[in-house]
Amino acid sequence: MEALINFTKEESSAILENETAATDSNLSFTMASEKPLPIDTTMLSLAIWWLYRVCVSIILVIGVTGNTLNLVVLWLSKELPFVPYVYLRGLAVADFCEMPLYMAYMIEQFCIHYTDRSIHLARYQAHVFLTLFNSFACASNLLVMTVTIDRWWSIAYPLRAISLRTHKTARILVLTLYAVSFLLHVSDGFMFTVEMKTDSLTNKTYYRASWNYEINNNVWYSYVWGWAESIISKVIPLVAVLVFNPLLLLVFRQSLKKRQELTHSHITNAAHEQKRQTENRQLTTLLITIATMFIICIVPITVVTLADRMVSQKILRDKIAFSIFRHVANVLELLNMTTNFYLYSGSNGSFRKACKGVFGRCFKSIKTITSSVGTQELYTMNTTAQSSRTASTPGSDRRKDTSSFHREASDIGYASKNAPLLQ
């Protein structure tokens, strides 16, 4: 399966049915039949519990926060005008959309008992979740590859790239990558089918996503389309980043030396050139950091994907160590989707400046709205209090106030009659 939930058929069925239960008190794991598990299976269950209930929970909290802030800064800031930030905006959208999808999946897996799952939930799990999640994951990988190649091209061949590297071209390319990713993973919606089951203990009917043997045994679907998915979504992005990331570092150093020589020969533009070099250095450092994190987190899941395509599942399912490695690879792939905001903030001064600008405007707007609301409330309170005092004034006092008003008005009229006319 080309997914973060990259389980074998048997592991998928076990997790989809929640057949493995964890006892929090002593971390002993038993099957639903209450039969003791073998030692190796217990180790696998313990690893799954720690990885998905502990590590993934922490990663999701960090990821939802970081991806939300990342999306806000990249879309609202006007201080990030360069073409690579167009690709980073598309990457932020993909990472942001993956978080609620996976969070809903984890809530459904660990908070809803398998006998309480409705047919609608089973249909979503079988036909919608994998397609959406794998499509966004593929788009994320392709965008990391694209922004790495784009940066290398802009530094190595600046004169050729300047006419083609426009914001419009970058937007079209981002939309194209999204379209390719979704078309490539439409078939994931047929990998599982909805099956009606009856619980043997409670005699309760429930629905689950079951492995679709008919379509998965099809040669064209399992091998041709499956290999195409694996190569395009995993292998090509990883190989491209592995190749172009060192090349980017090399050409950047060469370009930096040439720019320093030009700066010394043109003293009048030294300040402007120094600022430009700083911006280019920060942007290149940011992209190299992203690519390095991508390599660390995607290599394990790529190994798992290739192993699933080349080795029989009957052999892999008996390898407990490989099963644990599979789940670790899943968690690392999720980690790759949650760290971009923190990488941007730590490696790019322009991004930190953009964060201050965006959040500074937000805090200023909130302060303005709060102060205006407070002023309106104070005005309303004063008006109400004055109305209350007027309403509580006795009749004699009101007549006294009225007569004094007439006296003041007559005095003013008398004074105005005797005042000299202005020439």
C-beta of residue 144 within 8 angstroms of C-beta of residue 94: no
CA angle at residue 356 from 354 to 362, to 5 degrees? 105
**371-410 pLDDT, tens digit each:** 666 566 666 666 666 666 665 555 545 444 445 444 444 4
The residue behind tokens 């029989």 is 312
Q: What is the spatial distance between Cα 33 and Cα 20, in angstroms, rounded to a whole number?
A: 10
Nearest CA among 167, 181, 198 for reference residue 133: 181
**226-255 pLDDT, tens digit each:** 899 999 999 999 999 999 999 988 888 888
* pLDDT > 70? residue 1: no
Nearest CA among 121, 122, 118 for reference residue 193: 122
Instruction: Determine the pLDDT at residue 30.
Output: 27
**301-359 pLDDT, tens digit each:** 999 999 888 887 777 777 888 888 999 999 999 999 999 999 998 888 888 888 888 88
